[in-house]
Structure 1
Amino acid sequence: MRRIGVFVCWCGSNIAGTVDVEKVREAVKDMPGVVHSVDYQYMCSEVGQNYLKDAIKEKNLDRIVVASCSPRMHEATFRKAAESAGLNPYLVEIANIREHCSWVHKDKEVGTEKAISLTKAAIAKATLNEELVSGTTQVEKRALVIGGGIAGIQTALDIADAGYLVDIVEQTPSIGGKMAQIDKTFPTLDCSACILTPKMVDAAAHPNITLYTYSEIESVNGFVGNFNVAIKKKPRYVDMDKCTGCGVCIEKCPSKKGKSEFEEGLATRTAIYTPFAQSVPKVPVIDKEQCLKFKTGKCGICSAVCGTKAVKFDQEEEIVNQTYGAIVLATGFDLIKLDNFGEFHNE
């Protein structure tokens, strides 16, 4: 049988003003495993902590429940107090009866009943708690930023400038995100591209940053400090090392009826294209669904006019496995599709 000590804090009037702390103490004192149940005005004070330490030693307590304020404030305080009394600090459980209870209720009877429920739940959890030992693990000093919009770019630059390696994974052929599609920025009405494109260039040129454009996350495993990530690089059908970005292939492409994603489908583009003029990297990608070579096998003009022979119709997707210490999600947003707006409006 566990030997659990329950300490209900008044927190001055913060808790006691809306919760009958004595009633809470009485309600839980006969629960299985509870051998000590008290209330005190300020458990986080030096006197309150000493009171807890003495009770652990005198009552031979092996679990502690403190019904008080948020564990964000004082969980570490009570853990240290318990540890100094010889109890494993992870056998301390906090019931938040201030932020989660007294501060959100005006009716004292309702607040008291909720405080009793929260404390009972903490006691039930405490009976299942086991001793833990804190440890350390080696952290991979490399970060992954998922999303190459303005937020992802700035995040990557900040981390890279601090001296760490960073990989940006962007599902579209170019970094830049939604900000690249905007003309002006609020509230100063500054030119969006004037702010964004220098950062795009900085990210591409930074020695600590690697760009994985036209790529997606295949899987994430591991834990904080050591995430094992598989990145799927979709085939661009253009060799990024050979391409010079001259744009001749785009000019000569006969398939010109594709919907431009950059223009949200309001304009057309060729089958081989770069999303916009300032794309980074400045390397085109072939839309396999639109390309005549893939559909009929009878085109290939882009390959014929390419002076560096960068067009590679046989290119396949590639999986890159990398380990990261931290992952930042900066995946942005999608615009609401208004194609069927009239139907929804009528309903």
Structure 2
Amino acid sequence: MRPVRRVLRGLPVRRRGDKLKDTPMISLTMDGRQVEVQDGQTLLDAAKLLGIEIPTLCHHKAVPPAGACRVCVVEITGGGRPGLVPACAYPAQNGLVIDTHSKAVRNSRRLTLSLLLSRSPETEALQALAKEYGAEPVFAATREPHAEAQGGPGVSSKCILCGLCVRVCAEVIGPSATCFAGRGRGREISTPYKQLSHVCIGCGACAFICPTGAIDPAEFCSHPIEQISNEFNCGYDVRTPIHIPFPQAVPNKPLIDRDNCIHFKTGGCGACKTLCPAGAIDYEMADEIVEEKVGAVIVATGYQLLDPSIYEEYGYGRYPDVVTSLEFERMVSASGPTEGELRRPSNGQPPKTIVFLQCIGSREEQTAGGKPYCSKICCMYTAKHAILYKHKVHDGQAFIFYMDIRSAGKNYEEFVRRVVKEKNATYLRGRVSKVFPRGDKLIVMGADTLSGGQVEIAAEMVVLAPALLPSAGVRDLAQKLRIGYDQHGFLSEAHPKLKPVETNTAGVFLAGCAHSPKDIPDTVAQASAAASKALGLITHSRLTREPTIGIVNQATCNGCFECQPVCAYGAIGPREIRDRRGNLLATVAHINEGLCQGCGACAVTCRSKSIEVQGFRDDQLYAEINAIGPSAPLVATLPSGRNGNGSEK
């Protein structure tokens, strides 16, 4: 070991992410195959280029190599000093001839694994390697059979003393909360004086990097360790500070959670920047406001779910087995926190009886927080959830409380009937009055209005279908875009029949649940229509517009430009009037005919009455009225849009 360490002090060891653009190439032979690597790379890097498998236990790309476990040894047979060297730490040199699976190499690995296995025979990683190399514990008879731990607090008997946890804490993170203690058979990983560490920041890097799973930082950290809840999986598992928010994210690239990143909290770590082969990590990059000029805007802000905890009778937030439909969806998803296995959050067992409650907050005006409208998608996704439940729990029973089934769609009604006939789901028409625990079950009390009786079901899981609400901040966005919204916060279209995807602001279109609760087919249809409308604006070289636009009387305009800030379309600008000699006579307002939408905001703002909407001048309107005749009866009809409740007037 000592000659190798002396060699390593004189040669640089490259870490991933270092710039190697102008470094010379090194040629060596490994297992009879020629390979070229860059100066500073190790024998292990060369083996990876050739696809040669070399076992390692103490090596990790996040920390500098140490060669402590000696499982990765290879044999130098030519071009250098013959002998066994650790591939993870030995730098590549020109002319080296390496044998990665010679007899000496296999014997050395077998002996090393036998010694490690004597210390930690229950470690799965060692057992797999020992089986491959035929290693057996050499000191099994002398080991204490009932020793629960061979280390300090939080370190189990699976520890093989590779030192990864110590090195990552000291060299990458910074606190040095763990260390080696003792000698010989008493060697162990511990905290100073085997006391709870006050310098540990609870990052969990030691547990993440440990190859045997021997570290539990919660056992030696003096303060509670807070894990980061995974928002996409509704908090049923955890995530890292660097993560992709959800699989369909645009752009589909990782982001750094600055509030939980160790580098931004302590100034330490930086492993991601070191390891990124593309050099894409920039800690100095900050959020910035980007201004773009666009020809159309499609508002698709989506929706959010009503918080069911406002209804205390359902027990959401108090009883772990009461979940929302979105949480249930993540549970049964193959990419979810349980990899598609449906389990009760309380005990991890599959629920044999499940109750679905529909219209939680929808079509409810009597209670605070309730919404009078139908969320439209609850009936169908509850039927889908009942089918998914039967696929996961074949001997389970599903009950569904509903007000009435609204399955208006192609083959929707047939789908609901299939749930009843094929999956034996029980539909109960009525509302639930209370959900409360009794033993390890949840008692659901409700009414069956068809039979006129009370129903009490002992369920193991309750799934709520909460109302759909407009996304947070949609009202502020509507004010910025100058588009209308109803009393519930859903954005209003220009006309429900003639312009269902357009708004009162030209060039701004609606799609999806920003307009109202919608299922996927309706959302796709409206989004396609909005995209078509937007493309119609920006793909043509010439636009055909209505002639009802604003016009400026340049003779009376005094150039105050009070009309300019009120124009929502930026259609008003200055125009200079010059004489034949080029002398400036006046600067007046000018309306761009391609941008003006004829809203009339500028006309009512102009103090000198120099702006009028073409075709709607006062004398034109009076002439139309007088043309009818002074003795003819006159009926004036004014369009008034919609009532306050959303219905047409």
Structure with the higher fraction of residues in helix conformation: 1
- Using structure 2 for the length normalisation, give the TM-score: 0.19
- Using structure 1 for the length normalisation, give the TM-score: 0.30
Structure with the higher fraction of residues in strand conformation: 1
If you compute each CA radius of gyration, which structure gives the higher value, 1 or 2?
2
